């Protein structure tokens, strides 16, 4: 059944221009990384996507390997898009990526022209789309010449299979080299997806300078440090949390040390003094970085999306608050 989106869905969301491009992204984007797999109910996935769209979130971020198992997030998204959202396709920015292992053999990983073009063809088939709005190379390939990888991105745009391209997980020097090639090709390179949160500020050591100089926007993934910058872990590890799921290798109980917990609790006290949850403050903090146009959230239920979007109600920090954050973290 097709749903009818809320009429006022664009009234409360903030939209930021992505670099020097003509595209504006919602300040909060929705990623389908770990909660759109086989173990997650399709009905809940549908509810989350509808709520996100009703709140003005127009950007939905995927990758070929999202699930688990790999590929299932794109397949589920495509199913929901066809059954529920097809009337709103032109109001959405849909992105996907390739760069991690997807199939056996030498052509199913990294950054060759063969892999990137084949992978996007598979992604489009899974989602039932003719094109994506943004296609990313998911990680730098140490063996494939960068010129080949960037030429593949350019070819994909010229084929009409993506409107814009981006990169992810490239450091400052790698990004500088990629920018040079893409500018020479006149490829519409508009965005870099990088890990950024109060607990991971590595992009501030050169990458943001490169992006600002060349007019490329940044979208911050894991802005809540995979849930650490929420109230979820203040009193232990819940059974339904990401850290408790054995099939997710990126966060586990070893990451939640007593030192980290003390920092989180101090940050939580500051957030409460601002009238925000810790998650809301963490998202607001990420968005104060001038190159960051959007914070990419994940969710396992509708209430998390609603809470996160409310971060936009208070995006300003006093100098004293910023000092407190730095004192806690640095």
- Mean pLDDT by 10-residue block, N- to C-terminus, for the chain (330 residues)? 91 97 98 92 97 98 97 97 96 98 97 98 98 98 98 98 98 98 98 97 98 98 95 74 54 70 94 98 97 97 97 98 95
- Which pLDDT does position 241 carry in this prediction? 58
User: pLDDT tens digit string along 151-187?
Assistant: 999 999 999 999 999 999 999 999 999 999 999 999 9
pLDDT of the residue at 179: 98
Cα distance between residue 56 and residue 9, in whole Å: 5
Cα dist from 175 to 136, 191, 211, 218, 300, whole Å: 13, 11, 8, 12, 32
Domain extent at residue 232: 15-256+276-316
CATH number for the domain including 34? 3.20.20.100
Query: Would 10 be classed as within a structural domain?
Result: no
Average predicted confidence (pLDDT) for the chain? 94
- pLDDT for 239 equals 62
Per-residue model confidence (pLDDT) at position 232: 86
Is there a domain that residue 261 lies in? no
- Output the CA torsion 179→183→185→186 (10° steps): 130
Instruction: Give the pLDDT of residue 240.
Output: 59
pLDDT at 255: 64
Helices (H) and strands (E) in the chain, counts: 10, 10
Residue 326 within any structural domain of the chain:
no
Question: How far is residue 140's CA from residue 204's CA, in Å, rounded to a whole number?
Answer: 19
Count: domains in the chain: 1
**Residue percentage of the chain with pLDDT more than 70:** 94
Look at residue 223 and tell me if it is in a domain.
yes
Residue 178 in any domain: the answer is yes
In this structure, is residue 6 part of a structural domain? no
Residue 36 lies in a domain: yes
Helix axes 302-309, 42-54, angle to 10 degrees: 20
Predicted confidence at residue 249, as pLDDT, reads 52
Is 188 a member of any domain? yes
């Amino acid at each position: 059944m097709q749903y009818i989106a809320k009429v006022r869905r664009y009234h409360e969301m903030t939209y930021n221009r992505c670099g020097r491009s003509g595209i504006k992204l919602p300040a909060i984007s929705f990623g389908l990384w770990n909660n759109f797999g086989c173990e997650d109910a399709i009905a809940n996935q549908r509810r989350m996507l509808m709520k996100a769209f009703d709140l003005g979130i127009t950007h939905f971020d995927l990758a070929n390997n999202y699930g688990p198992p790999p590929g299932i997030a794109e397949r589920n998204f495509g199913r929901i898009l066809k059954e529920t959202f097809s009337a709103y396709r032109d109001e959405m920015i849909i992105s996907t990526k390739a760069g991690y292992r997807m199939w056996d053999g030498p052509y199913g990983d990294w950054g060759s022209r063969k892999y990137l073009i084949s992978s996007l063809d598979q992604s489009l088939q899974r989602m039932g789309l003719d094109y994506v709005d943004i296609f990313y190379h998911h990680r730098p390939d140490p063996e494939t010449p960068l010129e080949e990888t960037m030429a593949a991105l350019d070819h994909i745009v010229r084929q009409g299979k993506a409107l814009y391209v981006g990169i992810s997980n490239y450091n400052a020097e790698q990004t500088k080299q990629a920018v040079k090639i893409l500018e020479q090709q006149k490829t519409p390179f508009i965005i870099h997806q990088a890990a950024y949160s109060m607990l991971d500020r590595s992009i501030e050591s050169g990458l943001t300078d490169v992006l600002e100089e060349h007019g490329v926007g940044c979208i911050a993934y894991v802005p809540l440090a995979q849930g650490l910058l929420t109230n979820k872990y203040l009193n232990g590890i819940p059974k339904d949390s990401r850290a408790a799921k054995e099939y997710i290798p990126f966060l586990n109980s070893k990451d939640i040390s007593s030192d980290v917990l003390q920092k989180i609790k101090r940050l939580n006290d500051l957030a409460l003094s601002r009238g925000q949850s810790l998650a809301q403050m963490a998202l607001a903090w990420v968005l104060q970085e001038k190159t960051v146009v959007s914070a990419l959230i994940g969710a396992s239920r509708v209430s998390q999306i609603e809470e996160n979007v409310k971060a936009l109600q208070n995006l300003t920090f006093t100098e004293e608050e910023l000092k407190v954050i730095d004192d806690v973290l640095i």
